[in-house]
Amino acid sequence: MNDWPDLCQVFELKTVPHFTTLQKASKRLLRLATAEQLLDSTIETIQPDRHVALAAMDSTGLEARHISRYFVSRKRCKELQTRENTYYRRWPKLAVLCDCRTHAILSVITARGPGVDINQFGKILRPAADKVRIDQLLADAGYDSEANHRFAREAHHIESIIPAKHGRPSQKPFRGKYRRLMQQEFDKGILGQRWQVETVFSMIKRNQGEALLSQTYWAQNREMMLKVLTHNIAIILLVNELFYRAYRTPLIIPLTPKLFQVLSYH
């Protein structure tokens, strides 16, 4: 802004802010409690009735530096003239629960990968269930356990749909009530909607990038939370834009001979 003083006038700033202003603001605004309040505000705007018919849960990994795995792999192959691949040992991990209809993110957990998903089921579901009423929840086999089914169905009255594939394959009925139900009466058709959460991850990575610029663990968590908030705000803006276009676009119904006959009759 020192080079572009006109920007200060655009933002109505009397003085040029210090270059660490955004960094300090992110520490203050993206604390867990504050970030949860901001996320809840976006959900209230997107889901005013606080009802979600179908939700999905999953996790994904992000890059810890501004460079893709594909580039690292290709550069390594070119140097060694082999097909050896190079991957990072630890990476930022983002787990979300989203609405399959609107793609809005209802709850989020930031962590480090790799790691198992089965222990994060309750941590992701609880805040979402406190915000909205969920009818059905889809998750992959990584979250499969009888305890997770009980937590969803008995504690929150949510129909959990998780393929019973955790552990060794067996033709014998499972001991758990809900895992046995998934084994015997599993609806494969509705599980296809679980890919809606993959669409959410694709939207975040495509629109905001899959690489994090932050270096420290807590800064990376704040940056992932910022990506989630930005995603929900983008959905709000998109919905408003669609309603605005629909308001400005007149509804034109073609007058076919059959429709003309019906109108003439009445």
Sites in the chain below the pLDDT cut of 50:
88, 251, 266
Tell me what pLDDT residue 159 has.
Answer: 96
pLDDT digits (tens, 9 = 90+) for 230-259: 999 999 998 877 665 655 555 455 555 655
Distance CA 107, CA 100 (A): 13
**What is the radius of gyration, based on Cα positions, of the chain?**
24
Tell me what pLDDT residue 199 has.
Answer: 95
Question: What b/e string do you get for 49-76 counting C-beta neighbours within 10 Å, with b at 16 or more?
Answer: eeebebbbbbbbbbbbeeeebeebeeee
Tell me what pLDDT residue 9 has.
Answer: 75
Q: What does pTM read for this prediction?
A: 0.74
Distance CA 232, CA 56 (A): 16
CB hemisphere CA count around 217 (13 angstroms):
5
Tell me what pLDDT residue 61 has.
Answer: 93
Which residues have a Cβ under 8 Å from the Cβ of 116 and sit 6 or more positions away? 142
Q: Is residue 203 exposed (0-12), middle (13-18) or buried (19+ Cβ within 10 Å)?
A: middle
Tell me what pLDDT residue 71 has.
Answer: 53
Distance CA 233, CA 104 (A): 9
Q: Is residue 175 exposed (0-12), middle (13-18) or buried (19+ Cβ within 10 Å)?
A: exposed
Tell me what pLDDT residue 143 has.
Answer: 94
Bridge partner list, 113: 91
Tell me what pLDDT residue 235 has.
Answer: 94
Nearest to 172 by CA among 65, 164, 4: 164
pLDDT digits (tens, 9 = 90+) for 170-203: 667 778 899 888 888 877 788 889 899 999 999 9
**How many CB atoms are located within 10 Å of the residue 20 CB?**
8
171-177: which pairs have CB atoms within 8 A and are 24 or more residues apart?
Answer: 174/146, 175/146, 176/146, 176/149, 177/146, 177/149
Tell me what pLDDT residue 39 has.
Answer: 92
Tell me what pLDDT residue 116 has.
Answer: 87
Tell me what pLDDT residue 88 has.
Answer: 46
Distance CA 47, CA 135 (A): 14
Distance CA 97, CA 103 (A): 10
CATH superfamily of 27-64+92-248: Ribonuclease H-like superfamily/Ribonuclease H (3.30.420.10)
**Dihedral sign for Cα atoms in the order 135, 141, 145, 147:** negative
Q: What DSSP letter does each residue of 25-50 carry, written as one string?
A: HHHHHTSHHHHHHHHHHHHHHH-TT-
Tell me what pLDDT residue 165 has.
Answer: 81
